[in-house]
Amino acid sequence: MSNEDDLDVSDWIAEGPFSKPHSASQSVPVPAPAAMSSAAAAMQPGHGKPLAVCIRDLRVSYGKFDAVKGISLDIPQGEVFGFIGPNGAGKSSTIRVLATLQPKFRGLAMVCGLDVLTQPQRVREVMGYMPDFFGVYEDLTALEYLHFFAAAYKLPVAKRRGVIDDVLALTDLTHKADSPVEGLSRGMKQRLALARVLLHDPQVLLLDEPTSGLDPRARIEVRELLKALRGMGKTILISSHILEELSQLCTRIGIIETGLLVAHGSLTDIYRQLQLKRVIHIRCVDPASDLLDRVRRIQGVDSVEQQVDRWAIKLHEDQMSVADLHQALVEEKARLVMFQPEAMDMETAFMKLTEGKTA
């Protein structure tokens, strides 16, 4: 990399945010001006926290195949949004639109108030895209790899090494700086890819299946890194079909199937939307003969199942919280020796909302 100071490869690098801008002749017509101005107005602080991502009626087709069928979505700045769905549901197509890599679409897509279709280069300056594959750079060391992309991002030469050192430290790869990329584990390659997208300090990160194919330890390392980025105020859109991990990381989630956004909100919001019930296991000492009937009449209790050594209560949390149920049981003179709510898991919501279909 001896000629790195003179390197300018931003016009021909074929990966991620360095792809050559698409010509206007490739583009599908943009929405009507009225729709554009309405969406742009939604990006303003007067509508609450400014939006990092704004999507309106997004549609992506490949020939006669409709991959995305009219998705609308807002992601405020600083939020971590999880995009969940089976393979082929439309997650990657949506992310590629936001990454300026899919010029043939209908609808509106904006990143930090910038139109993806008409301002792709400016979008790339505020966005970092990490695809679900690493790319082929086996002849470089990790340090050379980052120098290559720093030059492509046109980082000032005087600041380049300092920035590279910072992203290596953030991703815990300083000790691997001189190691060949081809010798890195998949987990380390994923962290190196994250280091690459952080070089120009983007406001928005688009991460397509960042933990795909990783072993459990590597998944934990990547998850902890994403938590650190969340703490730095980055807006993150992350797609995955590993549901449990996103439930621990994301402020909101969206579930997509056959190109449609079938639900979005916090995990609690989705449970309430689906009217899913939380199961609470209780055990009482010497319960009164009529206690079971009284528990069944408590507001929000859907049913009570008698098991060998406990009762299993199904609770509508939109009607009564778990804490209020505990208080209600105490008021009914239940002498509790066990009160154990089952953890809500995203798989339950996912399986109820989807049938395993793809677009």
pLDDT tens per residue across span 204-223? 999 998 887 777 888 888 88
How confident is the model at residue 38, as a pLDDT? 41
At 353, the pLDDT band (50, 70, 90 cuts) reads: low
Residues facing 281 on adjacent strands: 312, 340
- Sheet containing 336-341, strands listed edge to edge, beginning at the edge strand earlier in sequence: 301-306, 311-315, 278-284, 336-341
pLDDT at 289 over 70: yes
The overall average pLDDT reported for the chain is: 81
At 201, the pLDDT band (50, 70, 90 cuts) reads: very high
Residue 263, token pair as written in the block:
């639900």
Domains of the chain: 4-270 (3.40.50.300), 277-343 (3.30.70.980)
66 CA to centre of own chain:
22
Pick from 255, 261, 113, 129: which is nearest to 196 by CA?
129
167 CA to centre of own chain:
21
Q: In whole angstroms, what is the distance from residue 280 CA to residue 312 CA? A: 6
At 113, the pLDDT band (50, 70, 90 cuts) reads: very high
CB count, 10 Å around CB of 299? 10
Q: Is 224 within 8 Å of 230 (Cβ atoms)?
A: no
| Over residues 321-341, mean pLDDT | 93
Structure letter (DSSP) for residue 231? H
